[in-house]
Structure 1
Amino acid sequence: MQKQALRRLKLLEHQILGIKVNNTSSQQKLKDENGNYQTIDLLYREGRNKLDWFKEKGWGFKDTEFVIDDKTGKVGLTGDRYVFSGKLMPDFRTWAESKIGIDIDKIAVAQKAMDVDPPTFNEEFLDSLDYNFSRISFDDKERMMHSHGHCLQDVFSLRYGKFKRFVDCVIYPGSTKHVQKIVELANENNVVIVPYGGGTNVTQALELPDDETRMIISLDMTRMNKIKWVDRANMTACIESGIIGSDLNRELEKYDVVLGHEPDSLEFSSLGGWISTKASGMKKNEYGNIEDIVQAITIVTPTGTFERYNQCPRVSHGPELNHFILGSEGNLGVITECVLRVREVPEAKVYGSIVFPDFDSGTKFMREVGRSKIWPASIRLVDNLQFQFAVALKPESDSRWQTILDKIKKFYVLKIKGFDQESMCACTLVFEGTKEKTDKQQTFIYKLAKEYHGMKAGPENGIRGYFLTFVIAYLRDFACNHNYIAESFEASVPWDKMDKLCYNVKDRVYASARNKGVQGFVFVSCRVTQVYETGCTIYVYFGFSLEGLKDPLHAYEEVEHDARDEILRCGGALSHHHGVGKIRKSFMDEVVGETGIRMLRSVKSELDPKSIMGSRNLFDP
């Protein structure tokens, strides 16, 4: 009788929260008539199960991928979600085959399905849950999806291998109270928790320790996706951590405010993930990095809940406790909600682009922009190889006039201005804010560009460059389909070390790839993606064919490790915004020092003495 009363109270609580209750499922028991644990879905939120729309063996929406058109042999993008969707790129195949060594005729067939190991159960924990969740799943595909992120190692295993360890079940909490109860029970019963947001990390942060014998649960936060309140007087908002970036933007529009935080993974990554990795967005110049936006964080740890919100703009209450949580990568607890700074919807949004005769001219321009502090919301400089890459991806035009106009523009740039197509590079721009502010920024930026022989290249290229960001990962999957590995990584670096870093890392990647037996062309490219007064953020892209490699994944891992080592040698950071995870964990002693590691371990052991927050990112407990 008491258990039935508690269940009725749970259902009443769910209804008070404004969540639709599935009355049929709510009568289900966690075990079926044969004594087997079964999936229960108590609550419905807006949206579907991720398995319904996200690819199982790669990145993004199931309806979107780069393919070879059967009739023309050209590369095209399926679906209707992006600027390039439903269009063919007539020049891309020829360029990719001749410039970066992809053999389009070579097809690498992925495995049909991965073998998923049977789960480990802690019955005392499961039997104590008593409906303190929105959904609990034991489905093998769901367990597999929650056992990986989206770095190349993850994708390679999805296509050709097997994960060493899988989560044993997936639990979706519906409130902070649910999380508190789940964490309390996990701590009592020695069950491991790995928080899950969008699953978009590229650091193996979700890779599970293969020596972990305890039950592992993935705590999927995506049903905690509400905006709890917006305070327009103080321009703050309280938001649950499971909300996905694109949903957050759409919901904030209803209040006529914006967050402005737009990482490359915006469509799929979560607010909690941004905080856990100490993320940065494309428009950080206008809106700040995540640490500039966060005002307060609620985190449930195994030894208690931390939640403090002071509306004052700044306080001096000792060390900033939020900074223990920012970048903690799931080690300390489960982030459930936070208070963020929001802005008015910008009056103006203007795209732009500039072409420079060479990368050296472009980097000098970027350095002066950084020093000036007159920054567009987003400013990115790509080297010649990436410039050619972007040009090759240009969709064919339906307009004969547009085709003629493009030829005239090309003639002007190459023949009249004297730019060399094999050395020129491009800068893409986004200006946001008041019209007065964006007008002043544009005047300054384009005037400065002329001093470095830059030429204004129009808003269309700016728009294409900005939205190309969202299809890069689809291109990586396309490369995998054709027996080619491609990946990117990032770092920040002081201005005076930027040139050396770019050149040395390229040379190190070339040399390392050759040393590992890579044949054919090695693709290496750099771009400057963000500016600061004291330095910038660099992205490095590299790729090569798998042809002739006995262990291609191991070869890739060693090349990436060598490149990261070279970045540190040149004075760059281990990471600017992707975080450490497990890929870069071996470098942590070097970058934070022995005392720093002891400080991190001390916080971990105090908040989580049993180490039930078991991701083991950053450092070993």
Structure 2
Amino acid sequence: MTDVKHMKWWGWGLEGVGFHFEDKPEFAPFVKKAVGLDVSVPPVPPLSFDQLTVPPVRLSPSFEAELVAIVGEEAASTADEVRVVHTYGKSIRDLLRIRRNEIARVPDIVVYPGDEWEVQQIVDAAVAEGAVIIPFGGGSNIAGSLEPLVGETRSIVSLDLGRLNRVLAIDEYSGLARIQAGAQGPDIEEQLNAKGWTMGHFPDSFTHSTLGGWVATRSSGMQSDKYGDIADITRGLRMVRPGEIVELRPLPSTSTGPSVREMIIGSEGRLGVITEVTVQVHRQPEVREVQAYFFPTWKAGLAAMHEIAESDASPSITRVSDARESGFSLATRKASKGVSGAAQSVLMSVLKRRGWNLEEMCLSFIGYEGTASHVSYEKKLVGAIVKKHGGIGVGKGPGALYDQKKFDTPYLRDFLLDRGAAADVSETAAPWSKLQEVYDATRAAADAAYEALGVHGWIMCHLSHSYHSGACLYFTFAFVHGDDPIAQYEVVKQSIQQAFQDAGGTLSHHHGVGVEHAPWMEQDISVGGVKLMQGLFDSADPAGLFNPGKVLGPAQATPESVAALRAAAPRADVAEVPAP
């Protein structure tokens, strides 16, 4: 088998890595207060793999042999565990179904192409067979963008791009890098850093997600304030379609009709298989630091972030947590001793003397990058704004800790699931003028959902990804579930998503649509917008073979549409599709 590595089948991240609270004395009391959960109760581990009921392979011997001939025996698998790993993403709904042995449909075969030409051959073979193709990167999606449709009777091919993980070339004069789509975040930064460059894209899923996945779901990263989100970073790309390749050159700007690049970004595999992306890269900064600040209230922090966005400062990170999330962050600290512990006590005493209500205090992280003089200049600008809004700087220590632990939070979901609690996230974006309304409406909707369910629930939020006209609000919610956790989860999730729409936000800022967010697409982009998008998908994939059901919801293909696609898309030969 290939050396492509993926996360464990039952949870986030790597086997043997998890969240521990024993060295965090404030964590257990915090969770007890927030959701009524006693974390000292012995955990109930997930099922063992041999307890799962895995649907059988639905694959003709001739088609299987054809795929194996393309990629080689070591790069194709029909093994149950490999197929299950490629079935779901990592949303709480995905993890609950796995733990409850609810696996209705899985891919029938997983193939690992070694280059673009093998991707082309796989796509053409699948189209000729009338088989479904689901591109797979790191498996980190939390919106249902990977799962096969329940009741799918056609063969399903999971096309894993993990072997396509190289930085192919860097145009140093232009600041552009050609990178294969299966490269995960650490692969990319390691190869770029070795030559003095960075892409600057660091989503929460960075350690386990891929460039192609970022493009396919319109990802944003923690430093998007400086580097832009993936739509800004992506300058060109290559995408395999039946019998052809779409190639978009990395031009700085064009006036060539509706943007095909924009059609592909966020398309979640509905239009083809992204194999290569040309991205903007930047020289590694001389100085990079994350400073921490406290604000007396959420409204003060929100107003400060707005003013920073309007100012001459251009931080790489602008993030402020509400009081609830600030309390959570402080509760996950390790015990402070000696000078550090004394300093924290002194700070809290000072804030109390200033009249702060520590229950309303909000923690903020702001990042700076560039030359030493540039960073110094920006810190002065931001410091003045923070002071104006009643905030106080507390130095680099908390910021350094945030920087070190920022990719570890998803492990907490597995910890809570082992103890009977569900935790997940929903994020949105809205204009500055509507952010407070979106925040208030979302909290109220979640609380109403908890009350209706009769559960002790929690919701907290931070602002991140600031823009000229608005920002992202990122909500985390949790509750101790009952015997039907998925039904309870859907009540809370749906209440939150509807609150976004009703208060003027979008259904998702950077997690994509998948199947979980599809019900809100008409509200989000209008009925006319959905018709345009459906027309694009129908035209590009009339048989519904490319990751069907994602973005706009499930739709069944007909035998007539399959026959039409087969006739219209003959297989390419080697001369027509050269390897890059």
How big is the shift at 1:615?
Answer: 3.5
C-alpha offsets along residues 371-429 of structure 1, whole Å, 9 cap, x if unaligned? Answer: 225231011100111111111111124x5233223322332233x33322211111111
Task: State whether residues 4 and 163 of structure 2, in contact with CA within 8 Å, keep that contact through their aligned partners in structure 1.
Answer: no
SS at the partner of 1:224? coil
> Are residues 1:324 and 2:263 paired?
yes
SS at the partner of 1:279? coil
Return the alpha-carbon distance in structure 1 between the equivalents of residues 4 and 263 of structure 2.
32
1:59 alignment partner in structure 2: 12
Structure 1 window deviating more from structure 2 (521-530 vs 194-203): it is 521-530
Match of 1:530 among 458, 465, 483: 465
1:112 alignment partner in structure 2: 48
2:195 alignment partner in structure 1: 255
Return the alpha-carbon distance in structure 2 between the equivalents of residues 401 and 591 of structure 1.
51
Aligned counterparts, 1:514-525, within 5 A: 514-518=451-455, 521-525=456-460
1:306 alignment partner in structure 2: 246
* CA distance 1:373–1:215, shift in 2 (3 Å): farther
Task: State whether residues 459 and 476 of structure 2, in contact with CA within 8 Å, keep that contact through their aligned partners in structure 1.
Answer: yes
Task: State whether residues 303 and 608 of structure 1, in contact with CA within 8 Å, keep that contact through their aligned partners in structure 2.
Answer: no
Match of 1:473 among 410, 413, 431: 410
Task: State whether residues 248 and 261 of structure 2, in contact with CA within 8 Å, keep that contact through their aligned partners in structure 1.
Answer: no
**Residue type of the partner of 2:273?**
V
C-alpha offsets along residues 45-69 of structure 1, whole Å, 9 cap, x if unaligned? Answer: xxx4425xx32311112121124xx
Match of 1:598 among 506, 518, 531: 531
Aligned counterparts, 1:209-358, within 5 A: 209-310=149-250, 312-358=251-297
1:390 alignment partner in structure 2: 329
SS at the partner of 2:507? coil
> Are residues 1:572 and 2:511 paired?
no
How big is the shift at 1:607?
Answer: 2.3
Output the aligned Cα RMSD. Answer: 1.6
2:382 alignment partner in structure 1: 445
1:14 alignment partner in structure 2: none
Return the alpha-carbon distance in structure 2 between the equivalents of residues 202 and 615 of structure 1.
17
**Residue type of the partner of 1:110?**
P
Return the alpha-carbon distance in structure 1 between the equivalents of residues 505 and 545 of structure 2.
33
Task: State whether residues 136 and 160 of structure 2, in contact with CA within 8 Å, keep that contact through their aligned partners in structure 1.
Answer: yes
Structure 1 window deviating more from structure 2 (236-245 vs 607-616): it is 607-616
Return the alpha-carbon distance in structure 2 between the equivalents of residues 569 and 407 of structure 1.
43
Structure 1 window deviating more from structure 2 (58-67 vs 360-369): it is 58-67
Return the alpha-carbon distance in structure 1 between the equivalents of residues 26 and 35 of structure 2.
14
* CA distance 1:61–1:277, shift in 2 (3 Å): same
Task: State whether residues 390 and 465 of structure 1, in contact with CA within 8 Å, keep that contact through their aligned partners in structure 2.
Answer: no
SS at the partner of 1:527? strand
> Are residues 1:195 and 2:135 paired?
yes
Return the alpha-carbon distance in structure 2 between the equivalents of residues 603 and 572 of structure 1.
25
1:131 alignment partner in structure 2: 69
> Are residues 1:539 and 2:474 paired?
yes
Task: State whether residues 205 and 615 of structure 1, in contact with CA within 8 Å, keep that contact through their aligned partners in structure 2.
Answer: no
Return the alpha-carbon distance in structure 2 between the equivalents of residues 123 and 373 of structure 1.
63
C-alpha offsets along residues 144-163 of structure 1, whole Å, 9 cap, x if unaligned? Answer: 00000000010111222322
SS at the partner of 2:428? strand
Structure 1 stretches lacking a partner, 5+ long = 1-40, 68-74, 77-87
> Are residues 1:93 and 2:32 paired?
no
Structure 1 window deviating more from structure 2 (469-478 vs 379-388): it is 469-478
Task: State whether residues 146 and 196 of structure 1, in contact with CA within 8 Å, keep that contact through their aligned partners in structure 2.
Answer: yes
SS at the partner of 1:457? strand
1:418 alignment partner in structure 2: 355
SS at the partner of 1:313? coil
* CA distance 1:559–1:606, shift in 2 (3 Å): same
How big is the shift at 1:356?
Answer: 0.7
Aligned counterparts, 1:354-433, within 5 A: 354-372=293-311, 374-397=313-336, 399-414=337-352, 416-433=353-370
User: Aligned residues: percent identity?
Assistant: 29
How big is the shift at 1:587?
Answer: 1.0
SS at the partner of 2:290? strand
2:442 alignment partner in structure 1: 505
Return the alpha-carbon distance in structure 2 between the equivalents of residues 230 and 157 of structure 1.
43
Structure 1 window deviating more from structure 2 (154-163 vs 107-116): it is 107-116
How many residues end up aligned between the 2 structures?
Answer: 549
* CA distance 1:427–1:130, shift in 2 (3 Å): closer
Task: State whether residues 429 and 509 of structure 2, in contact with CA within 8 Å, keep that contact through their aligned partners in structure 1.
Answer: yes
Moved over 4 A (4+): none
1:435 alignment partner in structure 2: 372
Return the alpha-carbon distance in structure 2 between the equivalents of residues 555 and 109 of structure 1.
21
1:16 alignment partner in structure 2: none
Return the alpha-carbon distance in structure 1 between the equivalents of residues 438 and 392 of structure 2.
26
Return the alpha-carbon distance in structure 1 between the equivalents of residues 158 and 100 of structure 2.
23
Task: State whether residues 303 and 607 of structure 1, in contact with CA within 8 Å, keep that contact through their aligned partners in structure 2.
Answer: no
Return the alpha-carbon distance in structure 2 between the equivalents of residues 290 and 498 of structure 1.
23
Q: TM-score, normalised by structure 2?
A: 0.92
Return the alpha-carbon distance in structure 2 between the equivalents of residues 130 and 588 of structure 1.
39
Return the alpha-carbon distance in structure 2 between the equivalents of residues 126 and 58 of structure 1.
29
Return the alpha-carbon distance in structure 2 between the equivalents of residues 421 and 411 of structure 1.
10
Match of 2:423 among 480, 486, 492: 486
How big is the shift at 1:285?
Answer: 1.4
Task: State whether residues 149 and 207 of structure 1, in contact with CA within 8 Å, keep that contact through their aligned partners in structure 2.
Answer: yes
SS at the partner of 1:162? coil
Return the alpha-carbon distance in structure 2 between the equivalents of residues 577 and 315 of structure 1.
25
**Residue type of the partner of 2:116?**
T
1:589 alignment partner in structure 2: 522
Match of 1:168 among 108, 123, 127: 108
Aligned counterparts, 1:147-166, within 5 A: 147-166=87-106
Return the alpha-carbon distance in structure 2 between the equivalents of residues 596 and 125 of structure 1.
38
Task: State whether residues 294 and 340 of structure 1, in contact with CA within 8 Å, keep that contact through their aligned partners in structure 2.
Answer: yes
Q: TM-score, normalised by structure 1?
A: 0.86
**Residue type of the partner of 1:532?**
Y
**Residue type of the partner of 2:373?**
E
Return the alpha-carbon distance in structure 2 between the equivalents of residues 536 and 337 of structure 1.
30
Return the alpha-carbon distance in structure 2 between the equivalents of residues 270 and 262 of structure 1.
11
**Residue type of the partner of 1:95?**
F
**Residue type of the partner of 2:66?**
S
Task: State whether residues 230 and 255 of structure 1, in contact with CA within 8 Å, keep that contact through their aligned partners in structure 2.
Answer: no
1:558 alignment partner in structure 2: 491
How big is the shift at 1:360?
Answer: 1.2
**Residue type of the partner of 2:523?**
E
C-alpha offsets along residues 66-106 of structure 1, whole Å, 9 cap, x if unaligned? Answer: 24xxxxxxx24xxxxxxxxxxx1122112221333222244
**Residue type of the partner of 1:365?**
A
How big is the shift at 1:523?
Answer: 0.8
**Residue type of the partner of 2:443?**
K
How big is the shift at 1:126?
Answer: 2.1
